[in-house]
């Protein structure tokens, strides 16, 4: 599966985009409150990630892309093969 082309498709479809965003926000919502991640020039907590995804800024877009790729990899079984 080519995630780049799929992301472009999602960008063109506003309804699909909103559904994906809602899915990502639900998934981020179960992130442990004690965790932090270092991404780009900042360290972010769960609430920051939610804000970035909601705003669809640079970090938010990467978060959405990472979730999509991860879900695709889980679904396809790619996570179980090291290629």
Partner 1 sequence: MSRSIVVTRPHHEIVTKYLCDWSKEVVDMARTKGLEVFDLDGTKSTRRNFEGYVKKHSPNFAFVNGHGNALEVAGHENEIIIDKECNLKIQIIYARSCEAALILGPSLVSRSVDTFIGYTRKFIFGYDPSKCYKPLDDVLAKLFLEPSNLVASTIIKGHPAREANKRSKDAMYKNFRKMISSRATYEERFAARWLWSNINSQVVLGDPNCVF
| Angle value at C-alpha 69, between 45 and 24, nearest 5 degrees | 45
Q: Check residue 34 for interaction with partner 1 (CB under 8 A).
A: yes
Q: Which of 57, 62, 51 is nearest to 3 (CA)?
A: 62
Q: What's the min distance (Å) between Cβ of 49 and partner 1?
A: 11
Q: Check residue 59 for interaction with partner 1 (CB under 8 A).
A: yes
Q: What's the min distance (Å) between Cβ of 35 and partner 1?
A: 6
Tokens of 3: 């995630």
Q: What gap in Å lies between CA 65 and CA 67, rounded to an integer?
A: 5
Q: Check residue 1 for interaction with partner 1 (CB under 8 A).
A: no
Residues that bind partner 1 (CB under 8 A): 30-32, 34-43, 59, 62, 65-67, 69-70, 73, 79-80, 82
């Amino acid at each position: 599966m080519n995630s780049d082309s799929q992301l472009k498709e999602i960008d063109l479809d506003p309804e699909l985009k909103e559904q994906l965003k809602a899915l990502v926000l639900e998934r981020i919502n179960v992130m442990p409150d004690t965790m932090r991640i270092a991404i780009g020039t900042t360290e972010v907590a769960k609430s920051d990630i939610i804000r970035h995804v909601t705003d669809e800024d640079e970090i938010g877009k990467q978060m959405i892309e990472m979730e999509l790729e991860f879900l695709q990899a889980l679904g396809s079984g790619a996570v179980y093969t090291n290629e």
